[in-house]
Structure 1
Amino acid sequence: MKKFLATVAVTALLALPVTAQDAPNAETVLATVNGTDITLGHLIAMRQMLPPQYQELPDNVLFDGLLEQLVQQEVLAAVAAQDITRRMELGLDNERRAFLAAMLLDQIGMADLPEEEVQAEYDAQYGSAGAAMEFNASHILVETEEEAQALITELAEGADFAELAQERSVGPSGPNGGELGWFTAGMMVPSFEAAVFALEVGEVSAPVETQFGWHVIVLNDSRAVEPPGLEQVRAELEDGLRRARVDAAITELSAEADVIRPEIEIDPSVIRDLDLLGD
């Protein structure tokens, strides 16, 4: 959200305090600017549209800040409304369209998700999945196959893999002894992965070529990792289901809408021509 507008002089502002016996509601008037009421409902609706980091501000800060901004906006909007241009009308059309569309999609996406729907999505993604394999490997990256083969010879003669990596590897993991940490299928380039998956723990690979150069790889360890439980991935699953709902709604409503696109030749660069909007 844009920063709160700088304070401006408001000469025709009447604040109407709420008495102790009156329970506030959406129609409770908090300020009247040139005859236009700003209500508690306006503040609540405005707060709802704030980014999460602003919504976490203390209530008194938000209340005062939002009310002041609405007052200032009304002051400025009233002046601007005295001379509405075609450009302003079009901008208002776009703002209204975007706001209503966003509200509908939010309503669709944030509707309650039945637990059985979440469970079904979990079963579809993880239910039939067995334990995944993770691998821990180190490598030495050099520029030529000959260099890689020479390293393999030195390792066979008892050289320390980590020391060779620190001395000879041109890759970023060299200073760390070539260690790559734990990874699963799909995280490394195919030829590198294929070589790792074929190794036994402690075994050193033949030279492996990738787009980065030539690798000598040692498999440090491997382990089976069970799929995550439902609660571990619930947020991820729910987000995916909500996105799918929104996408399905857009597709369905667009298919049902009567959309006519005239077949006209038009230069796309005209979208930059502000003169077409007039004054």
Structure 2
Amino acid sequence: MQKHIRFLSGALLALSLSAPAFAQDQTEETEASATTVVATVNGVEITLGHMIAAAATLPEQYQQLSDDVLYSGILQQLIQQSALSQSFTETLPPRVVYSLENEKRSLVAGEVIENILAGTDISEDVQALYDEQYGSIEAEDEYNASHILVETEEAALEVMTSLDEGADFAETAMEKSTGPSGPGGGELGWFGSGAMVPEFEAAVIALEEGEVSQPVQTQFGWHVIRLNEVRKADIPTLEEVRTELEGQARRTVAEAAIERLSQEAEVLRPGGDPVDPALLRRIDLLE
């Protein structure tokens, strides 16, 4: 089965990368290219291009390896695969033939999209997306608040009394708050709309800077809240979101190209329901 082939490929690579990295004989400095031959197996060439293409598809954990280890491991894998594939003298089974056709189709289709994107100027599209998404929005308020969290309303009222009598808010939070922010004086830092539970957020919005709330109940307990400061959230600049917007613009161009080329293609499908969808699971049909 094909899954066994994929497993074997991964196993070969793992074994290759775990083997000692042999020094390459590079006594003379040469100009390398994708066609540079790095090994031959029974007269069949393995080129630097084959190695680069193989390296580009490796999982992330292999990409972190040193160049020497990666080079040795990939070369050994390609040599092993070449030796194995050359030993195959039978007719390729349908699963391999169809897989190769699918892989070629996918790679060529991807190349078409890359060429379309390379020939398309998306700078105006990126600017338009920025204007649409950020140009007319109003900066939202952000709040910096501290709180003292206790279990009961009675305890919260006692905290209020202490604060009214001149107790320091941060010191009281460190002494009495049961929340994780207690050791830090109850400081919650900056947050925007939706970051806190509704009851807490409503209480914060109703406060003036420096003002302390009456006890507020939420699912976590009872809070005594102080609003430290209010500011307007920064609206991202075009440069800050350029990468994200370029991705959106490229997706739009690619989707339009796919739609156009699909519409232009002559597509014929047999009428009715010639194939039972359940047959997709019949791997045995590829034997």
Asked if Structure 1 and Structure 2 have the same fold, meaning a TM-score greater than 0.5 normalized by the shorter chain, the answer is yes
Give yes or no for the alignment of 1:202 onto 2:210. yes
How big is each residue's C-alpha offset from its partner over 1:185-237, in whole Å with a ceiling of 9 and x where there is no partner? 23222222222122111111222233222222100111224423211222232
Q: Using a 3 Å threshold, how does the CA distance of structure 1 residues 98 and 114 change in structure 2: closer, same or farther? A: closer
Secondary structure at 1:217 match in 2: strand
Aligned residues: 266
Paired residue type of 2:151:
E
Aligned ranges for residues 1-279 of structure 1 at < 5 Å?
4-7=13-16, 25-50=33-58, 62-79=70-87, 114-243=122-251
2:6 is matched with none
Q: Is contact 1:30–1:40 with CA below 8 Å preserved after alignment? A: yes
Q: In the alignment, is the contact (CA less than 8 A) between 2:122 and 2:246 conserved in 1? A: no
CA distance in 1: counterparts of 2:96 and 2:33, whole angstroms: 33
Using structure 2 for the length normalisation, give the TM-score: 0.68
**Inter-partner Cα distance in structure 2 for 1:207 and 1:37:** 78
What is the RMSD computed on CA atoms of the aligned residues?
4.2
1:172 maps to a residue whose letter is P
Counterpart residue identity of residue 185, structure 2: G
**Structure 1 residue runs without a partner (length 5+):** 9-16
Given that residues 27 and 40 in structure 1 are in contact (C-alpha distance below 8 angstroms), is that contact kept between their aligned partners in structure 2? yes
TM-score in terms of structure 1 length: 0.70
Query: What is the identity percentage for the equivalent residue pairs of Structure 1 and Structure 2?
Result: 50
The answer to whether the 8 A contact 1:109-1:243 is kept is no
- For residue 187 of structure 1, give the secondary structure of its aligned residue in structure 2: coil
Tell me which moved more, 199-208 or 251-260.
251-260
Counterpart-to-counterpart distance in 2, 1:87 and 1:66 = 25
CA contact (8 A) 1:207 1:214 kept: yes
Q: 1:31: Cα distance to partner?
A: 2.5
